[in-house]
Amino acid sequence: MNSKEVMDAFDKYVVNTGARFPVVYDHAEGAKVWDKDGKEYIEMCAGYGANSLGYADPEWLDAVCAQLKKFQHTSNLYYHEIGAVVAQKLAERSGMKKVFFANSGGEANEAAYKIARKYGNTIADVHKNSILYMQTSFHGRTISETASTGSYPGMDAKFGPLTPGFFPVVINDIDDLKKQVAEHNPCAIIMELVQGEGGVIALDQAFVDAAVKLCHDNDILFIDDEVQAGIGRTGTFFTYEQYGFKPDIVSFAKGIGGGLPIGGVLTNEKTCDVLSPGEHGSTFGMNPAACAGANVVLDKMDEAFLADVRKKADYLRGELMKIDEVESLSGLGMMIGVNFKTKDYTQVVQELCENGVLAITTHGRLRLLPPLTITKEEMDQALQVFRKVLG
Ligand SMILES: *Cc1c(COP(=O)(O)O)cnc(C)c1O
């Protein structure tokens, strides 16, 4: 098929849930992608951040292929070594206790909600099961996540009735947070420390501190959705490290598999034994090939790797700010929101694409989630295009 035939087949046979750019991937390496017509792009969005090690990382490829040759899948009725290895590394790395593996961020948050509700219904002293979320949040696409996602309003009318028991809080508004806690007696509060879809917004330290204290004082679980912000993206392995606290549940996905579908929740002493056999599960969860990829991601993301991510983020942010049209940057580390003085971000993202840079948008601004392994040369190539498009 040529590019046009591929795009036509998508139009005809694929349910249209994505506003796609006219780029048909052929192959990719590092942060570079070549389309079917041979045009080269620098990927500054890394598959929404999932391709944390970029493309064709040799060790990642070897580990995944080697596992595929041994066996590609089993169920939760049996044990396998690679799952044990990845679970142990995740727990040790995070300081959390145990992990439940699923295949995506959406499934990770569903698991978090089930743990929180069972905790509230059966373990917490006061029977409680409502969950607070942030008004500009994004937590996924299931019916419960749609009920707790504020960044795509109007969904209730289309997909309702949504799961009841979820209530919004205005971000960075401590008074509203206290009010909602008093009103709804929640079993959990979920937040992204750096909101992705909601606009690449890092929450205020004081707000997070207040939430941590409220959770502690009222036996409320703090669910930290690090599906986008976790796994090295913001310059530490998890973003909660920078905020100086430990959540009760951390959901993760995107970057952990290096591009393979894997996600899950990490639990602490309060939450690790809430679920019992038969109450939750996933056919593909803890898939051995995905675990083999995650194992390489975990091994590569040592302190030196993370220091390098921070250095590269500083460089990229510094160079972007030198461009006159750039008004300000948001987010943390390699999770970058870009505001323009006069230009329309949806127009900019189109022009970047035409000129060989793949970037994405979020509510109100441009968003960059480059592979964490992007090289200085690749960043410079992208910056050259930014200067041209924004000049
Ligand atoms: C992407 C994302 C999700 C949903 O993950 P999927 O893998 O698409 O289901 C949930 N929470 C956050 C913060 C995300 O960025």
Residue 248: the pLDDT is 98
Residues 13 and 95 in one domain: no
* Last residue in a domain, options 255, 279, 300: 300
What CATH number did the domain enclosing 316 receive? 3.90.1150.10
* φ, ψ (nearest 5 deg) of residue 222: -95, 110
Tell me what pLDDT residue 125 has.
72
Pairing of strands 326-332, 335-340: antiparallel
Kindly give the distance from the C-alpha atom of residue 226 to the centroid of ligand 1, in angstroms, as a whole number. 9
Where do we find the tokens 């030198």? 322
- Whether residue 290 is found in the same domain as residue 369: no
Take atom 15 of ligand 1 and give the residue whose Cα is closest: 228
Domain contains 66: no
The verdict on pTM exceeding 0.95 is yes
pLDDT beneath 70: ranges in the chain: none
Same domain, 38 and 79: no
Q: Which of 300, 320, 349 is the last residue of a domain?
A: 300
| Partners of 335 in the β-ladder | 332
Residue at 101 is within a domain: yes
* Count of structural domains within the chain: 2
Contact status, residue 195 vs residue 201, Cβ threshold 8 Å: yes
**Phi then psi dihedrals of residue 385, to 5 deg:** -70, -40
Quick one: pLDDT at residue 59? 98
pLDDT at 114: 98
Do 37 and 108 lie in one domain? The reply is no
Ligand 1 centre to CA of 356 (Å) is: 26
Residues with CB under 6 A from ligand 1: 104-106, 109, 138-140, 192, 196, 225, 227-228, 253, 263
Give residue-wise pLDDT tens across range 174-209.
999 999 999 999 999 999 999 999 999 999 999 999
**What is the spatial distance between Cα 235 and Cα 255, in angstroms, rounded to a whole number?**
13
Nearest to 239 by CA among 275, 205, 282: 205
**191 domain-assigned:** yes
- Residue 124, pLDDT score: 80
The token pair that represents 257 in the structure block: 């598999």
Q: Which tokens go with 280? A: 């939750």
**37 plus 80 within the same structural domain:** no
pLDDT digits (tens, 9 = 90+) for 229-287: 999 999 999 999 999 999 999 999 999 999 999 999 999 999 999 999 999 999 999 99
Residue 384, classed as helix, strand or coil, is helix
Where does a domain end: 267, 300, 333? 300
Assess contact for 237 and 266: CB atoms under 8 A. no
CA distances from 380 to 34, 268, 307 (A): 18, 42, 19
- What CATH number did the domain enclosing 265 receive? 3.40.640.10
- Tell me what pLDDT residue 354 has: 98
Distance 234 CA to ligand 1 centre (A): 16
The verdict on 113 and 243 lying in the same domain is: yes
| Pocket mutation for ligand 1, best pick of 227, 234, 332, 335 (most atoms within 8 Å of C-beta) | 227
**Same domain, yes or no, for 360 and 338?**
yes
Q: Which amino acid is at 83?
A: G
Pocket test for ligand 1, best of 203, 228, 361 (most atoms within 8 A of CB): 228
The three-state secondary structure class of 109 is helix
State the distance from the centre of ligand 1 to the C-alpha of 105, rounded, in angstroms: 4
Eight-class DSSP state of 141: S
Q: What CA–CA distance (Å, rounded) separates 85 from 89?
A: 6
Asked if the peptide bond before residue 161 counts as cis, ω within 30 degrees of 0, the response is: yes
Residue type (1 letter), 37: D
Q: How, if at all, do strands 130-134 and 186-191 pair?
A: parallel
My answer on whether 120 and 179 are in the same domain is yes
Q: Which residues constitute the domain of residue 330?
A: 3-58+303-390
Do 240 and 110 share a domain, yes or no? yes
Q: Are residues 284 and 363 in the same domain?
A: no
How far separated are the first and last CA of the chain, in Å rounded?
37
Same domain, 126 and 232: yes
